[in-house]
Structure 1
Amino acid sequence: MEATTDTLVIKAPKKSPLILRMVVLLFAMVCGVYICLVCLKQINTHTKTKFLNIIAINHQNQINQSCQVPDLEKSEIGYAHYPKPQTFKRDECACNPVRYFAILSMQRSGSGWFETLLNSHINVSSNGEIFSVRDRRLNVSSILKNMDKVYNLDWFSSASKNECNAAVGFKWMLNQGLMENREEIVKYFKKKGVSAIFLFRRNLLRRMISVLANSYDKDAKPLNGTHKSHVHSPLEAEILAKYKPKINATLLIRELEQDEEAAGKAVEYFNTTRHIVVYYEDVLNNRTKLNEVQDFLRLPHRELKSRQVKIHTTPLSNQVENWEDVEKTLKGTSYETFLHADYQLPSSPQSALTNFT
């Protein structure tokens, strides 16, 4: 019998895929951890850089905020400002303090001449009679808005010294919305640290003559058909000085009283603000008065000059058509001194202080 042998063939089992899977998983985990570490490092570096940048910016802000005037008295701190104009950058002058001021005066009191003297200082910008334009003084909001523009150094005029100003201001006549809005303006001056420079004329009769002569010039225009409130040549001054106004003697005393009262009230209303009272005649005859003004504005002393030429230089008796009536009216009154108080002009006719009407 032939034996039949059945052979059972058993193949070697395949390697388990579990090990392979474990290897792949381990590799993926290592790669993932590596990628996470790299990302975390980059995020940390970026955050650190950003943090350092913030520190640098804050440090710069602290520098700007810490600008102080050397040797500044404690009572004067509120009057040193560091404006940030919207129209330009102060650059290296950002830490130079700026003083705010306003020249408060009456027409024909020497304010135009006085302002040109201030503007001859390399660090001063006095921007003229900005409220002579009616639209700028229609209401308190308009007035405050225009003052903000001046004191933020965003008001440009021929007098602007731009970024390196040490004092900035303008000229303001008492009848240009100043007295009507005095309460709000006093608050503004005190809040903003604005210093007031009152400029008046002692001899109110001379001021009256100048007002009448200037009013005549507006209509007659003897200088080649043009009106000039201020002149820069002796010839022009001589032409304007030829006119002799006639003063209403009946109203003379009352008008002088009104002028005197207006000046007194202005100083009274602004008495709580930082201010100084200056008289045209004192500046005309005493150069040290200009040093006092520079000290008031905390400015380094400079020789101040003006190109304006004085118009009326002769005695008052030669400047009024009806002088006898005027003389008769003022004699025996508190204003009699105005008849004789002619200016003592400096010895040098070339002196800057001899200029103005």
Structure 2
Amino acid sequence: MAEDLCLFNKDSLILKPPKKSILLLRMVVLIFSMVCGVYIFSVCLRQISVQSTGQLFSVQVVRPCEPPNVEPSEKPFVHYPKPKTFSRAECTCHPVRYFAILSTQRSGSGWFETLLNSHINISSNGEIFSVKPRRTNASTIVETLDKLYNLDFFTSASKNECTAAVGLKWMLNQGLMQHHEEIVEYFKSRGVSIIFLFRRNLLRRMISILANSYDQNAKLLNGTHKSHVHSHHEAEILARYKPTINATTLIPNLRQVDEMVTKALEYFKSIRHILLYYEDIIKNPSKLREVQDFLRVPQMDLNSRQVKIHKGSLSSQVENWVEIEKALKGSPYESFLQEDYKM
């Protein structure tokens, strides 16, 4: 019996551990290995991702400027130019409106433009199409306009960074009428507004043209020709010249200018515009407030250093007034003989 017991204890001592314990241990090791592998893989993947997209993180995302609170109908006329020649800095998101002054020579456009340029936010850049190569064809016209409205066309009137309205003065005989279809299309697509500025009394305009043409050769001001003057003394010297008008061609010439103005109004009537007359601005300076409202700029008192040359009655400004009076009597232009304003 004792032997049996000893044998039993001996056998019990050499028993092998159950197979379930080995399987459990293997499972734990396997799971641990998988967890480590996943962790290592994720770390490597993250490093590769950072390296491959490092350049993207360095790019600064530029958000477009938010349009101001304007009516839907006004939004096509609000622009944010990006000049190639300078930075608009803090004014990058300051909206700019585009305009063009359409006029004829000696209609007060030079004086009117100096008034606009006295506004701190308006840049009107003169007769840039008086230079013929810029108006050779529609392509050169568009190229010049693009440069102007992108604020890359520099003149003494340029306000640069904080310009709120930018434009030019464009005479009807400077390629405007010849290429009116392309220009209308451009104005519509770019949201350009038009300021029509004409003269009611075309006889006064003719006198101014003839006097200015004479001074180009005579150079009455100490051998210097000036189309516009800044002193009353200079104005008096230029006003002493009294042109002689050809009475025979007077009416055909007046009709030609009248028809050209009518055509211009018809060609560009589909563009957002305002119509002004030189005489109306002289008699009613509040017209300048209408212009500022039209351009959507803050209201300011506008001023000009230019001094008017021809004043007083027309009869005192023409050498052969009796002939002119006789030629216009009974014609559609008889009203031009009357005094339309006083200075």
Match of 1:119 in 2: 117
Match of 2:170 in 1: 172
* Conserved? CA contact 1:316–1:342, under 8 Å: no
Compute the displacement of 1:219 (Å).
Answer: 0.8
2:255 is the alignment partner of 1:250? no
CA distance in 2, matches of 1:271, 1:42: 64
* Conserved? CA contact 2:117–2:157, under 8 Å: yes
Residues 160-309 of structure 1: matches in 2 within 5 Å?
160-309=158-307
2:275 aligns to what SS in structure 1? strand
Matched length:
308
1:170 aligns to what SS in structure 2? strand
1:302 aligns to what SS in structure 2? coil
TM-score w.r.t. the length of structure 1 is: 0.82
Compute the displacement of 1:342 (Å).
Answer: 3.6
Match of 2:68 in 1: 69
Q: Deviations over 1:97-148 (max 9, x none)?
A: 1000000000000000000000000000001100111111111111110010
Compute the displacement of 1:92 (Å).
Answer: 1.2
Compute the displacement of 1:159 (Å).
Answer: 0.3
Amino acid at match of 1:42: Q
CA distance in 2, matches of 1:83, 1:44: 37
* Conserved? CA contact 1:317–1:323, under 8 Å: yes
TM-score w.r.t. the length of structure 2 is: 0.85
CA distance in 2, matches of 1:218, 1:137: 24
Compute the displacement of 1:46 (Å).
Answer: 4.7
Q: CA-atom RMSD, angstroms?
A: 2.0
Gaps of 5+ in 1: 1-31, 346-357
Amino acid at match of 2:282: L
Amino acid at match of 1:194: V
Match of 1:42 in 2: 47
Compute the displacement of 1:40 (Å).
Answer: 4.1
Compute the displacement of 1:42 (Å).
Answer: 3.3
CA distance in 1, matches of 2:115, 2:283: 14
CA distance in 2, matches of 1:302, 1:143: 32
* Conserved? CA contact 2:313–2:339, under 8 Å: no
**Given the alignment, which residue of 76, 79, 86 partners 2:77?**
79
Compute the displacement of 1:53 (Å).
Answer: 5.0
**Given the alignment, which residue of 155, 158, 162 partners 2:156?**
158
Match of 1:3 in 2: none
CA distance in 1, matches of 2:137, 2:49: 57
Amino acid at match of 1:95: C
Q: Deviations over 1:290-348 (max 9, x none)?
A: 01111111111110000000001121111000000001111122212211124233xxx
Aligned sequence identity (%): 65
Gaps of 5+ in 2: 1-36
